[in-house]
Amino acid sequence: MEKEIKYQNILKNIESLIEGEADTISIMSTISCELYQAFEQWNWVGFYRLVDEKTLKVGPYQGTHGCLTIDINQGVCGKCAREQKVQIENDVTKLPHHIACSTDTKSEIVLPVFDKSGQLEAVLDIDSLELNSFDTIDEKYLTEVADKVY
């Protein structure tokens, strides 16, 4: 219940901060900032933009250094972009295809970001310092957040 209340407050803050804003980079920057400060166990929050049919490029983010480019055939982000479905990884240390931008990361969630026509534009990537950080509650609310970008 506590996590749900936290997310409901985060959503209200984000909605208020981006009200009337149409610039996606500004919206992504604001979302990254608000989410990163919300959960102390998260060590990376940000976006990778789909710049062509096989390349993700880092967008606005908060946290330790994020790799700049991800081939769509690589990593958890690439899998999310290929399948266009949320990826929840409870223990990334056991994942052969995981790209470790930080060796401190233990679990991860990656969500597709669609524009109004349903076209994939980016992925929202969140890393945690703890195992098993993400569940269906995170998926539900972070999907609502991702739907506010475009």
Give the residue, chosen from 98, 122, 128, 146, that forms a contact with ligand SME under the rule CB under 6 A. Answer: 98
Nearest approach, Cβ of residue 75 and ligand SME (Å):
2
Selected range binding ligand SME among 3-11, 27-35, 71-79, 113-121, rule: CB under 6 A: 71-79
Give the residue, chosen from 14, 28, 29, 125, that forms a contact with ligand SME under the rule CB under 6 A. Answer: 125
Cα–Cα distance for residue pair 56/81, rounded to 1 Å: 9
Nearest approach, Cβ of residue 31 and ligand SME (Å):
15
> Is 76 a residue that touches ligand SME (CB under 6 A)?
yes
CB–CB of 81/75 below 8 Å? no
| DSSP helix/strand/coil, 10 | helix
Cα–Cα distance for residue pair 119/131, rounded to 1 Å: 32
| DSSP helix/strand/coil, 23 | coil
CB atoms within 10 A of CB 115: 12
Nearest approach, Cβ of residue 19 and ligand SME (Å):
28
> Is 45 a residue that touches ligand SME (CB under 6 A)?
no
Nearest approach, Cβ of residue 57 and ligand SME (Å):
12
CB–CB of 57/48 below 8 Å? yes
